[in-house]
Amino acid sequence: MTTLPIARMGAEVLKHRAAEVTDFSDPALETFLQDMVETMHAARGVGLAAPQVSKPVRIVVFFVPAARNAGQEIPMTAMINPIITPLDDAKNDAYEACLSVPGLTGMVPRFTNIRYSYQDITGARIEREAHGFHARVVQHECDHLDGILYPQRVVDMTSLAFADVLQAEADAKGEDLELDEEG
Ligand code: NI
């Protein structure tokens, strides 16, 4: 397995819609998924989209720790050609961070409840529902497939900050600050 370099904001590959995967018989697909998982772990992220490793295809890997999903872990999942459908209009705000935007964090509204589907490595389509942080991770990662980085979703630009500065400010005030893992 190989750890791949992560593209940072400004790179052309992060700005465009990525292509559907059509060839599920390509043996390079499994190797690429393994490399994405290794790269995500090495970077201590919870998610990674293929354009972030400079490959403009519709592939995402992610997991959700139990502590972030009401005690139920969402195990490592590789999504190919994912599709998201919001279940209702409810949205929530939380700080997000991104491996392609190192050091920064910002408050992003996301749909709270979604249904999503994706193809697995065999091409079979899987359907799931997600809520809260799980739904947020999926929306953040799938945005990468459409050339969107989270700063483009920040509504209150005064929330955009360096994560370590924000943390230091919260510590000084004795406040709890929940910063999301990077994806
Ligand atoms: Ni990201």
Is the pLDDT score of 179 beyond 90?
A: no
Other Cβ atoms less than 10 A from the Cβ of 28: the count is 9
Q: Which of 96, 127, 141, 178 is catalytic?
A: 141
Catalytic residue flag (residue 169): no
Instruction: Provide the pLDDT confidence category of residue 1 given band limits of 50, 70 and 90.
Output: confident
In tens, the pLDDT along 103-124 reads: 999 999 999 999 999 999 999 9
Give residue 52 CA to ligand 1 midpoint distance, Å.
8
Give residue 49 CA to ligand 1 midpoint distance, Å.
7
In tens, the pLDDT along 141-178 reads: 999 999 999 999 999 999 999 999 999 999 999 998 88
Instruction: Name the pTM for this structure.
Output: 0.96
Q: In angstroms, what CA-CA distances link 68 with 23, 36, 147, 159, 181?
A: 34, 22, 26, 22, 10
Closest by CA to 179, choosing from 120, 123, 136, is 136
Architecture of domain 12-62+72-181: Alpha-Beta Complex (3.90)
> Do the beta carbons of residue 13 and residue 51 sit within 8 Å?
yes
Write down the pLDDT at residue 182. 84
Q: Are strands 91-97 and 47-49 parallel, antiparallel or unpaired?
A: unpaired
User: What residues have a C-beta under 5 A from ligand 1, the ion?
Assistant: 98, 183
Other Cβ atoms less than 10 A from the Cβ of 107: the count is 18
Is the pLDDT score of 78 beyond 90?
A: yes
The single-letter code of the amino acid at 88 is: D
Give residue 151 CA to ligand 1 midpoint distance, Å.
10
Mean pLDDT of 65-70: 91
Write down the pLDDT at residue 178. 82
Q: In angstroms, what CA-CA distances link 100 with 20, 36, 42, 43, 148?
A: 22, 14, 14, 11, 11
Measured CA to CA, the distance from residue 121 to residue 153 in angstroms comes to: 30
